[in-house]
Chain A
Amino acid sequence: MLKKRIIPCLDIKDGRTVKGVNFEGLIDAGLPVELAKRYADEGADELVFLDITATIEKRKTLSDLVELISKEINIPFTVGGGINSLEEAATLIQRGADKVSLNSSAVIRPELIQEIASQFGSQCVVVAIDTKFVNGEWKVFVSGGRIETDLKTIDWAKKVEVLGAGEILLTSMNSDGTKNGFEKSILKEIVQELNIPVIASGGAGSKEHFKEVFEETNVSAALAASVFHFGEISIPDLKKYLNENKIYVRTT
């Protein structure tokens, strides 16, 4: 049976792992490669690295980091943060990233999804969507959640699938960093409408939250950051708990 995936996310700033609360107030959580190795050894199914301060000057730092990660870890990983062109995506993939994650750049220029998918395959392209419930509807936000767009989340998700995205990473900004649980309503809606895997993100605070999101929505994976970084939930404990509750995840 294909298992549900548990994915720790490492937000990277200046080569360190950080985690913000509601996208602000960054707290240092250590060296990315060390954390990545620890998570891989503990049974994480994949890893996501998001460079949250990606600027042109930092681009080389990120691709160096990707190479280092690829040499050290033996599970799939995704890299995102400020990837604006096919060339940038190609560099990261060639240096060892299994997938790249696009966010604002895909909203600005949706063809980028197609360009990367046709060169490297849809399985390489994750589209990250930051969403927030505003005036009665779920809207897409860009630039690290700072700018609201006109796009409705469900419409954008359907469009990126058509353009060749292989997976959607949906972060609810309302719940991100709150530890009050994943935002299940929008996840449920998106999973029903799409035929590609959806990764739930934003709001994990307890083992029960993971169980609920898998029970109540048909997401393929759940992603979290701070609960793992600060040791509030250990991956082996979480996986044992999920398996006991008939949410089947990989055990090693």
Chain B
Amino acid sequence: MIAIVKYNAGNVTSVKNAIERLGFECIVTDNSEELQKADKVIFPGVGEASSAMAYLKEKGLDEVIKNLKQPFLGICLGMQLMCDYSEEGNVECLGIFKTKVKKFPPLDLVPQMGWNTIVQNGKENENEDVYFVHSYYAEVCEETTATCNYILNFSAALQKDNFYGVQFHPEKSGKIGEEILNKFLMLNF
């Protein structure tokens, strides 16, 4: 069973639909036991960082998430909340990835909205653009596994142990997004 973390950050319909399209069953829950029992946990989110963190703390989900052992994937705001700190609402986050989340400088349209290329191992993933919508970005750090360039270079994907994070929306990134999501759902630990 796949669990999607339920919290006050936007709606999870698209993520749920994408998982079901790939043939997996999933539940949307904020119950810590259900999250701990799940084979994989997905942490989506479109919303505001400080209010999302406040909600997670109030529910005790911050500690639950940090201690999960199964494959865990944060998407967009979910990924940003896995970092040390976010400028959005000036808030300490979960501290899984040792990096900071900052607002894009206003040198181009903000948010970045649309399809962009990601760079993995120094190589551009040609013809595999993914869909981004965000005003804040995570700085590149040791845990960065892919970068993207918009105004500056930032973390498009991060990984540490069982924790994965992506700034883009795999659930909205066409076939390549489905492949990325499927790869995560098929992980065996």
Contacts and interface: CB of A to CB of B under 8 A. Distances in A.
Contacts, number: 86
Contact of B117 (A1, A40, A43, A45): A1
Given A70-B17, A74-B172, A123-B133, A2 B115 contact: yes
Given A75-B173, A98-B14, 6 more contacts: A74-B171, A76-B131, A121-B46, A121-B47, A197-B113, A252-B175
Interface residues of B, number: 38
Dominant secondary structure at the A interface = loop
A24 B176 CA distance: 39
Dominant secondary structure at the B interface = mixed
A1 B14 contact: no
Interface of B: 10-11, 13-14, 17-18, 20-21, 46-48, 106, 109-117, 127-129, 131-133, 149-150, 169, 171-178
B110 A1 contact: no
A96 B13 CA distance: 5
A89 to B, nearest CB: 12
B179 to A, nearest CB: 11
Contacts of B47: 121
Contacts of A74: 18, 21, 171-175, 177-178
B141 to A, nearest CB: 22
B172 A75 contact: yes
Nearest to B11: A94
Nearest to B77: A121
Given A71-B21, A123-B46, A250 B129 contact: yes
A166 B17 contact: no
B176 A252 contact: yes
A233 interface: no
Interface of A: 1-3, 5, 40, 43, 45, 70-71, 74-76, 93-96, 98, 120-124, 166-167, 195-197, 220-221, 250-252
Nearest to B124: A1
Contact of A252 (B109, B133, B174): B174
A95 B115 contact: no
B63 to A, nearest CB: 27
Given A74-B177, A75-B172, A121 B114 contact: no
Contact of B17 (A5, A71, A220): A71
Contacts of B169: 76
A122 B13 CA distance: 18
A90 to B, nearest CB: 9
Contacts of B21: 71, 74
Nearest to A96: B13
Contacts of A76: 131, 133, 169, 172
Contacts of A124: 46
